[in-house]
Amino acid sequence: MYNRIIRNDILKSKAITLTTIIFIAASAMLVSLAAILVVNLSGALDTLMKQAKTPHFMQMHSGEIDIARLTSFAKQNNNVDDFQVIEFLNMDGAQIILDGSSLANSVQDNGFSIQSEKFDYLLDLNGNIINVTNGELYVPISYMRDKTTKVGDRAVISGKEFTVAGFLRDSQMNSTLSASKRFLVSKDDYTEIKNLGSTEYLIEFRLKDLSALGAFETAYASAGLEANGPTVTYRLFKMMNALSDGMMTAVILLVSALVVAIAFMCIRFTLLAKIEDDYREIGVMKAIGLRVSDIKKIYLAKYAAIAAVGSLLGFVLSIMFKGMLLENIRLYMGESGDSSFALLFGIIGILLVFLAIIAYVSGVLRRFRKISAAEAIRFGTSQEKDVGAKHFCLSGNRLLHTNVFLGIKDVLARKRLYATMLAVLVISAFIIIVPQNLYNTISSKSFSKYMGIGNYDMRIDIQQTDNISEKAAEIIKMLNSDRTISKYAVLTTKTFKVKTEDRSEENIKVELGDHSIFPIEYSGGRAPSAENEIALSVLNANELSKKVGDVITLVMEGKEKNLTISGIYSDITNGGKTAKAVFTDNSADIMWSIICAELSDKSLVEERTSEYASRFVFVKISNIDEFVTQTFGSIINSVKKASSAAIAVALIITVLVTLLFMKMLVAKDRYSIAVMKAFGFTNSDIRAQYVSRSVFVLIVGIVLGTLLANTLGEILAGMVISSFGASTFKFAIHPLSAYLFSPLMMICSVLIATMIGTSGAGQIKISENIKE
């Protein structure tokens, strides 16, 4: 019997059933995709880091190195499983020519290495350890992604010729967030080019017990070993590798949650309409003694069938689309070891969607209990009425056109019915606006302030070179005489020891200079301005468990110096662990200096950048936009993709739901439409009324959606952003796109859908609907 009832019911309402199935399929697909992505990402990441044997602790160092001392430290430390020192030959981008074009504009520190012997292997695209022969060059995978070069291309490194033999995965430096990129050459070739660049050392450790990494870090720092460069740990490597795909997964999860909510709305709406249609029958069934659970079963069976079909469809779709989303993970990290596991999680996700739908339908059907059999049989409709629109009378209306009035009046009188449509439109507006705002925010220039980069035009990096201060002075001289430069700041980074809670010592990199020239955003407090003040990055503050106003102790030349924490800021540069202060110091070696400059005429940035670059070949000079694009480029791109996808999805949802809604309304309102037509209202009058209804609901939806996007959305986006080191977050809203184009797009979609959805109203015959 159920089969027959379900079949008849579905045949009678094909469009509505189809739309509901589409939404269920979409939500099932997204949930399944998110599950598959998460499992694959973590699986592929594990595989990559296992195959490559990523170091657990890595200290970059430039300058003199005492290998014997390091070796004895490694021997004496019980936790060290393996230890090695790798050379990294830093070379100016201009000296690296791939397929005829140089990497002079690259903001990455490009350098050369040979294959490691013990761990930290460089892998080919099949996950195998590369065995490189003379004359061969393996290029970091990111240069394949941005199509800089391809296999077989000619490469010229400082005049020496190589052939691009393949691409490599580097578990340390794959991510664009990582500032350095390693090229792989053979031992002989390395020896040949060794003198053409500056050598930096990667001091690497594998530990027996990874959980004791903190203790090891402390031990390394207090042993006073080589530490002229950033320190990176296993966790940070992992996070940097996972970031851009992780963001994509987060966005998909967010969208899938919203689509699930919309599927629920559709179900609620069709179900409520159906219950209203069947009111009398339900009353009769109750009257002849059927139990509520029996009646519920009839309806539940139909939705179980629809949900099953939708979920299956969603699963098939997710299998079809997963390749597209896994492309990036496959390229950068390779196959995940447990892909069947991923499928299993996908299926579990879909099952959850299915069960949630059944539970929800069952919940909506609870209202059967409230239906009074006698009332249902007598009146045939629910006697519940919305109140509130009572004083909104046509007789008192002077302002609105009668059709507009009737449209709005209908919405106010049947709030419950329209609440569903409103909810969907609010969600759509939310989906359109939040990713767009997020994209605008992270692609805006001011966003770099959250990331620890001030708002300047040109950045000059002086590192891996001798006599940093003299070179800086030389550049400053030129800056002073350059009229196009409106202001500049010199920031010098030095390493000091800091006393931790347990009185042990750790290294801390402090950027010294005037931080008020190019201010960054502080999540608490302000920039340091006095000699005894210091500002900490969020990660450092967390690690040292300090807050604004607390005092920390630095050790300089054996003497302790107390500094008050003036502020805490977000930073993702240099592994996120930095500090800023203004005191002068001549004790410690300079690790690097950066000079930031602002130009009075922004159109000259490019020209000046290349001029300085050709003048000072020993430093790296980047146009800040380029620096930001190359550093955050892939993240910005992911978010941009997600944001365009979100707009498309939201508009499709808006059109589909409005269409569905209007078709159902016309079907429900046949009688009223016939009455109005009988009394001289034309088809265009009727259409105008429906357009007024949907536009009225839409306007409320857009206003609520925008408010929600700017409050809840900002909090959500802030959570995403904080996952990569930023702590304070405010949307940078593009008013034209957020408040004009997005609403316009929605209005157009809703208008078109309403027009199509209500075209059936013209066919309604008065004589057939006003029967005696």
Query: At which residue do the structure tokens 């016939």 appear?
Result: 674
- The answer to whether residue 761 forms part of the interface with other proteins (CB under 8 A) is no
Site stretch for other proteins (CB under 8 A), options 161-169, 517-525, 555-563, 761-769:
761-769
CA distance 442 to 690: 40
- The answer to whether residue 18 forms part of the interface with other proteins (CB under 8 A) is no
User: Would you say 234 and 54 are in contact if contact means Cβ atoms under 8 Å apart?
Assistant: yes
Residue with smaller CB distance to other proteins, 402 or 469: 402
Task: Specify the DSSP element, H or E, that contains 233.
Answer: strand 231-233
Site stretch for other proteins (CB under 8 A), options 145-153, 408-416, 570-578, 604-612:
408-416
Site stretch for other proteins (CB under 8 A), options 62-70, 110-118, 634-642, 681-689:
681-689
CA distances from 276 to 280, 283, 479 (A): 8, 11, 78
Q: How far is the CB of 400 from other proteins (least distance, A)?
A: 7
- The answer to whether residue 394 forms part of the interface with other proteins (CB under 8 A) is yes
Residue 78: exposed, middle, or buried by beta-carbon count in 10 A (0-12, 13-18, 19+)? exposed
| Orientation of helix 683-722 relative to helix 415-443, angle to 10° | 40
User: Would you say 539 and 577 are in contact if contact means Cβ atoms under 8 Å apart?
Assistant: yes
Most distant CA pair in the chain, distance: 105
3-state secondary structure of 772: coil
Phi, psi (rounded to 5 degrees) for 494: -130, 155
- The answer to whether residue 585 forms part of the interface with other proteins (CB under 8 A) is no
Q: Which two tokens stand for residue 297?
A: 């079963």
- The answer to whether residue 684 forms part of the interface with other proteins (CB under 8 A) is yes
Residue with smaller CB distance to other proteins, 486 or 682: 682
User: Would you say 761 and 687 are in contact if contact means Cβ atoms under 8 Å apart?
Assistant: yes
- Binders of other proteins among residues 367 to 386 (CB under 8 A) are 383, 385
Task: Collect all residues with Cβ–Cβ distance below 8 Å to 61 and sequence separation of at least 6.
Answer: 200, 201, 202, 203, 226, 227, 228, 229
Q: How far is the CB of 423 from other proteins (least distance, A)?
A: 22
- The answer to whether residue 351 forms part of the interface with other proteins (CB under 8 A) is no
- The answer to whether residue 710 forms part of the interface with other proteins (CB under 8 A) is no
Q: How far is the CB of 411 from other proteins (least distance, A)?
A: 10
Residue with smaller CB distance to other proteins, 250 or 275: 275
Residue with smaller CB distance to other proteins, 679 or 715: 679
Q: How far is the CB of 766 from other proteins (least distance, A)?
A: 5
User: Would you say 273 and 20 are in contact if contact means Cβ atoms under 8 Å apart?
Assistant: no
Query: Which x/- pattern over 412-451 shows residues binding other proteins (rule: CB under 8 A)?
Result: -xx-------------------------------------
- The answer to whether residue 405 forms part of the interface with other proteins (CB under 8 A) is yes
**Residue 362 has what DSSP assignment?**
H
Residue with smaller CB distance to other proteins, 391 or 483: 391
- The amino acid at residue 574 is N
Site stretch for other proteins (CB under 8 A), options 364-372, 401-409, 420-428, 433-441:
401-409
Residue with smaller CB distance to other proteins, 655 or 686: 686
Residue with smaller CB distance to other proteins, 640 or 668: 668
Q: How far is the CB of 269 from other proteins (least distance, A)?
A: 19
Q: How far is the CB of 415 from other proteins (least distance, A)?
A: 11
Among 680, 735, 736, 763, interactor with other proteins by CB under 8 A: 680
Phi, psi (rounded to 5 degrees) for 523: -75, -20
Q: How far is the CB of 768 from other proteins (least distance, A)?
A: 9
- The answer to whether residue 763 forms part of the interface with other proteins (CB under 8 A) is no
Residue with smaller CB distance to other proteins, 648 or 766: 766
Among 4, 12, 398, 416, interactor with other proteins by CB under 8 A: 398
Residues binding other proteins: number (CB under 8 A): 38
Among 78, 101, 402, 562, interactor with other proteins by CB under 8 A: 402
> 368-382 in b/e burial notation, b at 16+ Cβ within 10 A?
beebebeebbeeeeb
Q: Which two tokens stand for residue 525?
A: 């407090």
- The answer to whether residue 393 forms part of the interface with other proteins (CB under 8 A) is yes
Strand intervals (E) in 133-179: 136-140, 154-157, 160-170
Q: End-to-end distance of the chain based on CA atoms, in angstroms? A: 34
Which residue from 469, 450, 460, 462 is spatially nearest to 488, judged by alpha carbons? 460
Q: How many CA atoms lie within 13 A of 507 on its CB side?
A: 25
- The answer to whether residue 276 forms part of the interface with other proteins (CB under 8 A) is no
Q: How far is the CB of 274 from other proteins (least distance, A)?
A: 19
3-state secondary structure of 381: coil
- The answer to whether residue 687 forms part of the interface with other proteins (CB under 8 A) is no
> 279-294 in b/e burial notation, b at 16+ Cβ within 10 A?
beebbebbeeeeeeee
Among 61, 409, 494, 509, interactor with other proteins by CB under 8 A: 409
Residue with smaller CB distance to other proteins, 672 or 759: 672
- The answer to whether residue 682 forms part of the interface with other proteins (CB under 8 A) is yes
Task: Collect all residues with Cβ–Cβ distance below 8 Å to 381 and sequence separation of at least 6.
Answer: 276, 279
| Number of other CB atoms surrounding residue 736 within 10 Å | 9
- The answer to whether residue 631 forms part of the interface with other proteins (CB under 8 A) is no
- The answer to whether residue 150 forms part of the interface with other proteins (CB under 8 A) is no
Residue 333: exposed, middle, or buried by beta-carbon count in 10 A (0-12, 13-18, 19+)? buried
Q: How far is the CB of 376 from other proteins (least distance, A)?
A: 15
- The answer to whether residue 670 forms part of the interface with other proteins (CB under 8 A) is no
Q: Which two tokens stand for residue 192?
A: 């040949």
**Residue 379 has what DSSP assignment?**
H
CA distance 137 to 155: 8
Q: How far is the CB of 662 from other proteins (least distance, A)?
A: 17
Among 84, 95, 311, 403, interactor with other proteins by CB under 8 A: 403
Which residues are 140's β-sheet partners?
A: 168
Residue with smaller CB distance to other proteins, 740 or 766: 766
- The answer to whether residue 766 forms part of the interface with other proteins (CB under 8 A) is yes
- The answer to whether residue 410 forms part of the interface with other proteins (CB under 8 A) is yes
Q: Binding residues for other proteins, per CB under 8 A?
A: 383, 385, 389-390, 393-403, 405, 409-410, 413-414, 671-672, 675-685, 765-767, 770, 772
